[in-house]
Structure 1
């Protein structure tokens, strides 16, 4: 075996190892970024956790979803316009954004903003200047209040702390 052949084989092997390592790093970083983006789509977080700022935005009739997302990002209401677009596409409010003027806050999630922007403003709200606010998805608070009062949602008394209620006539 010649020395030139041996050197060429070693260099070729080193190049193959470097290329394979670069491909593995690229695939790993791409997969990590894709996972993080997908996670952020479904783990909706507001820009500020508490004490958010209220910002008034105007949605034009001709505004596209991309323009709305870019405007919300520029105003500091969302962190990523592309993420907002994907969240809108996957939400129940897809294609339902109504043109108008809305008061949005930095402590709202993207889904709460979509809910507000997809809720048509009634004539009464237009006259008073009120904008719709999102309603909590769960009604646990109402159930807790009913339990504390000892009355169920249908108005019947409910025993508290496992105590038996006396029947009528006792």
Structure 2
């Protein structure tokens, strides 16, 4: 990938696009936006691959964070808010697409099993943050917990997950 090998990029896309699209789709709940963000994610991976540091984590986790950040940015965008206000109600209903059924579920790539091994308070935070798209401040408000506590527990959960992986 660092040498901009197209075959390596194709391999990466073929093996991870389904899982990453699933996470994006869970956050934005719009197939149109999810497809756009998936493309943006892989373009960013292609452009920023030299920024990836294997010592800090796995490639999939790095790519997942890029996708998650792009999806959260889209949720906060005026374009997204305007589209959601003007779309027909039937278009806002989240419908699972069977062609992505297994690839979109985190349990098929082992993440859910790892999260299940965490203590209950950490599991709840990771679920809200990574599977439902909440920010740390939104989690703080939702759970009526100090922001510092949320950050500390998320960090502890990430350390535990890193050891499990």
Query: What is the TM-score when the length of structure 1 is the normalising length?
Result: 0.24
Larger helix proportion, structure 1 or 2? 2
Higher relative contact order (CA 8 A, sep 6+): 2
Answer with 1 or 2: which has the greater Rg: 1
